[in-house]
Structure 1
């Protein structure tokens, strides 16, 4: 399994202000679903940060997203380890397959792959 990118998810009620602030640092908006917006570096597209008011389909908001090349293998590994799954593996309408798991520090991790 290969990690493609890691993105911090910042819980925010000030998405527009965040877009402007991070724009001053050179980030550009690359995704906006209304409830989550992602900014990325044009020169290094995997350097990203997301701002979210809450998650659309899950009961909790993740602290971080980790994109992997095989989300099914990641899910099997986490279940096999006994890790706490907070949101089951499922396909989302916006084109990702994902699940949420709690890390040893109590952080909620959104593990995803693009379909």
Structure 2
């Protein structure tokens, strides 16, 4: 199984202040900038990314408030089937999201929720 990247997900109360911190202070560049949801990437290493979700913007957190880390994989369906076979706790079922992500959430040992995702064509 190929893992393409792992991205920490942070929940914030002020997305604009967080944007200023990550972009202006740390030097990340915006990769996605929507009301309440932002993704940043390193200009020198584009797979080094971080996402933030503003809880004050209803519906824009895209479930990130529930997942501590996003892991982009080659085949989310295969891992979903394996998680089921292994008896892991599925927190969010395998879903093709309208923005072009197939994903599910699984609880890792220790209780952390992991968003396992792959890019697919948007509906």
Partner of 1:10: 10
1:20-39 to structure 2, matched below 5 A, reads 20-23=20-23, 24-39=25-40
Give the 3-state SS of the residue equivalent to 1:105 in structure 2: coil
Partner of 1:79: 84
Distance in 2 of aligned mates of 1:4 and 1:79: 22
Matched, 1:88 2:89: no
Query: Please, what is the CA RMSD of the aligned residues?
Result: 1.6
Q: Cα offset for 1:53?
A: 2.9
Q: Cα offset for 1:35?
A: 3.5
Distance in 2 of aligned mates of 1:3 and 1:94: 20
Structure 1: gaps spanning 5 or more residues: none
Ranges of 4+ aligned residues in structure 1 off by more than 6 Å: none
Structure 2: gaps spanning 5 or more residues: 56-60
Distance in 1 of aligned mates of 2:79 and 2:36: 26
Count of equivalent residues: 114
Q: Cα offset for 1:33?
A: 3.5
TM-score by length of 1: 0.91
Partner of 1:110: 115
Matched, 1:49 2:54: no
Matched, 1:68 2:69: no
